[in-house]
Structure 1
Amino acid sequence: MKQRGKIAAVTMTYNDGYKIKEWRQWYDEVKSEIDLYIVVDNGSSPDYLQQVKDNFSDSVLIERKNNGGCTAAYNDGIRYALQDKDVDAILIFGNDVRFAKGAISELYKYLYSDKKLGMVGPAMLRKNSEIIEDYGVNMGLFNTKFLYSGREYSNNFPDMIVDVVPGGASMSKRSFYEKVGLQDEVLFMYCDERDMSYRAKRAGFAEGVTAKAKAWHQHIVNPQPAVRVNTRYMIGRNYVYCIKKHMSLFLVIKYVICSLLVNYLGLIRNLFNKQRRNSYWQYLRGVKAGLVNDMDNNKIWENND
């Protein structure tokens, strides 16, 4: 059994005052399992930044000057963690994720139980429930399968090798980031797990999930958002970007043609449903942006998305 090294946890935040109370509570529940806690602020307001300093005075706080999305913020935290040579595991700890007591330690044990494992994750449960949200994800070109979704949690579920572990709750070996590299900052947010999965496999690493660790994705949403990122645009754009980056030209063309047909048909069928019509339209805009490599527009903000 490998002697336990240091576990560093990285959390990113951006004007999250509406959930800071819960975030602090969930951190307190598991902080004894974390050796180094790194909070990366993505350019929040001075008032909110002070709240972070007051609530997480025992953490390392990295203050970014601008919003780099999930990818740039997590990368800043990972880089800091890698500077400590005693850190041999890095946990991505979303501030709307609650880990069960002992789950972080179980992730570490599982991570080092097999040399081929580079990144692992817990059984992710729906908010305040014992129902699985996902137990890892397997990916195809046209489908994404959330494993065990909707089933009641059991700690007897087998450990499984999967394509993607639950987002916001992954633990990786330091060697994983040293060999695979950091997150692709072009993505900004969404599809970063997919990109990392392709790269991990090429580097010889597997990703796995274990039911011995469980967490809840609490999905705390700002009740009065001033702005909201257009998720459908970003997902459509980044999905195409990832396919172009990792797959053949034939598969890129195949996906884009099929995606355009499906979403145009969906748009036509929902002409009189503003919300659904807008969802299809924004995805189509994203597909086009990904196809022409228009990856700079990360400020597509709409309240009606």
Structure 2
Amino acid sequence: MVKQKSKKGLVSLIIINYNGGRVTLECIESILKQDYKKIEIIVSDNGSKDDSIQQIKKRFPKVLILELGENKGYAGGINEGLKRSSGEYIIVMNNDLILRKNTITEIIKRKEEADIFGVKNYYVSRPDTLWATGVKLNRLIMKAKLVGTMEKDVGQYDKTNFEHLVGSFLFIKRKVFDKIGGFDEDIFCYYEETEFQERARRNGFRILFVPKATLLHHVAYSSGGGSNVTTDYYLVRNRGKFIRKYQVWYLKPVAYSSLLVETILRPIKQIAKFKFRGSLNSWRGFFDFLKGIGGRKNF
């Protein structure tokens, strides 16, 4: 990735939009209400079929819109946004978030303590209930799991030193990208933020959870609302790629065995919900991983 000249103190927010409509507009509006004003907003649009882009242009003419014309996934959309960004700091984020007024300010206060920063996510529908605070990576089987989901927030995670942060919103110093490059587009979506953070950690960069920085999350709006058969494909395939790249050789048999179990269980769960169409997509993901296939999958 080509190094960009950055403007000191400027925060570039890169939003990934795909048929986001009203949700994307709410997200941008919350950004413009931040008490930290040195910002630029970039929307990477992954070939939306709705009128998202027209609405953004009409309501927020100063927002830079990158019309990519096709679905490049989360990783590709972020990387395109990075090429056009000018900030010393980069925020990569979903379009289904509503920031609190002081979200960015709380991170800026602690900017000397780390290189990548995460925030506390609450449900939009339940603003006193956590969606996630961080990510627990099981290093035996190399499987990532959100921490705090559906729990009432009583500060139980405020002093936790997470190894990985929630990928819906990451505040990243530009120097991280300058050294390790952007997001892995071969992953396309799911596990791309886990891979990026693991790569950053292994290059000596520090990760910090900032509990006073909070936001509201519509949760999986941009990917269709929670678990689905398309998600099953990417989670299995990309976890396999993550294992291959980062697990030590003598633990790979354990991790791959766990991946096979996940591949078997996901169709059972889908069928139990009477979701028959595409219920075997986890197997497609598993075999595509074995064949080294990456990027976007056309179903």
TM-score interval, normalised by the smaller of the two chains: 0.7 to 0.9
- One-letter identity of the residue aligned with 2:137: M
1:119 matched to 2:123: no
Deviations, residues 20-55 of structure 1 (Å, cap 9, x unaligned): 443343334327545211111222348443222112
Between stretches 178-187 and 240-249, larger displacement belongs to: 240-249
1:146 matched to 2:139: no
* Cα contact 1:126–1:216 (8 A) shared by 2: yes
Q: How does 1:125-274 map to 2 (within 5 A)?
A: 125-128=122-125, 129-140=127-138, 141=141, 143-154=143-154, 158-219=158-219, 221=221, 230-261=230-261, 263-264=263-264, 267=267, 274=274
**1-side partners of 2:172 and 2:269: how far apart?**
44
- Counterpart of 1:170 in 2: which secondary structure? strand
* Cα contact 1:126–1:218 (8 A) shared by 2: yes
Between stretches 20-29 and 127-136, larger displacement belongs to: 20-29
**1-side partners of 2:238 and 2:96: how far apart?**
23
Please state how far the C-alpha of 1:56 moved relative to its aligned partner: 2.3
* Cα contact 2:133–2:166 (8 A) shared by 1: yes
- Counterpart of 1:185 in 2: which secondary structure? coil
Residue matched to 1:303: none
Q: How does 1:4-19 map to 2 (within 5 A)?
A: 5-19=9-23
Residue matched to 1:293: 292
Please state how far the C-alpha of 1:258 moved relative to its aligned partner: 3.2
**2-side partners of 1:268 and 1:45: how far apart?**
32
* Cα contact 1:19–1:220 (8 A) shared by 2: no
**2-side partners of 1:12 and 1:272: how far apart?**
32
**1-side partners of 2:269 and 2:92: how far apart?**
40
Residue matched to 1:90: 90
Please state how far the C-alpha of 1:105 moved relative to its aligned partner: 1.0
Q: Which has the higher helix share?
A: 1
- Counterpart of 2:292 in 1: which secondary structure? coil
Please state how far the C-alpha of 1:206 moved relative to its aligned partner: 2.1
Please state how far the C-alpha of 1:144 moved relative to its aligned partner: 3.4
- Counterpart of 1:90 in 2: which secondary structure? strand
Residue among 39, 62, 67 paired with 2:66: 62
In structure 2, the CA distance between the partners of 1:275 and 1:250, relative to structure 1 (3 Å rule), is farther
In structure 2, the CA distance between the partners of 1:186 and 1:251, relative to structure 1 (3 Å rule), is same
Deviations, residues 186-232 of structure 1 (Å, cap 9, x unaligned): 1111101110122011110121211111111113748x99xx87110
* Cα contact 1:130–1:152 (8 A) shared by 2: yes
Q: Which runs of 5+ in 1 are unaligned?
A: 301-305
Question: Identity of paired residues, percent?
Answer: 23
Number of residue pairs the alignment of both structures matches? 286
**2-side partners of 1:174 and 1:138: how far apart?**
25
Residue matched to 1:283: 282
Please state how far the C-alpha of 1:71 moved relative to its aligned partner: 0.6
- One-letter identity of the residue aligned with 2:71: N
**2-side partners of 1:91 and 1:159: how far apart?**
23
Q: Which runs of 5+ in 2 are unaligned?
A: 1-7
* Cα contact 1:241–1:291 (8 A) shared by 2: no
Please state how far the C-alpha of 1:238 moved relative to its aligned partner: 0.6
- Counterpart of 2:33 in 1: which secondary structure? helix
Between stretches 21-30 and 232-241, larger displacement belongs to: 21-30
Between stretches 162-171 and 254-263, larger displacement belongs to: 254-263
Please state how far the C-alpha of 1:287 moved relative to its aligned partner: 1.7
In structure 2, the CA distance between the partners of 1:107 and 1:270, relative to structure 1 (3 Å rule), is closer
* Cα contact 1:266–1:277 (8 A) shared by 2: no
* Cα contact 1:42–1:64 (8 A) shared by 2: yes
In structure 2, the CA distance between the partners of 1:60 and 1:108, relative to structure 1 (3 Å rule), is same
Alpha-carbon RMSD? 2.9
Between stretches 62-71 and 142-151, larger displacement belongs to: 142-151
* Cα contact 2:188–2:295 (8 A) shared by 1: no
In structure 2, the CA distance between the partners of 1:195 and 1:38, relative to structure 1 (3 Å rule), is same
Please state how far the C-alpha of 1:266 moved relative to its aligned partner: 6.5
- Counterpart of 2:179 in 1: which secondary structure? helix
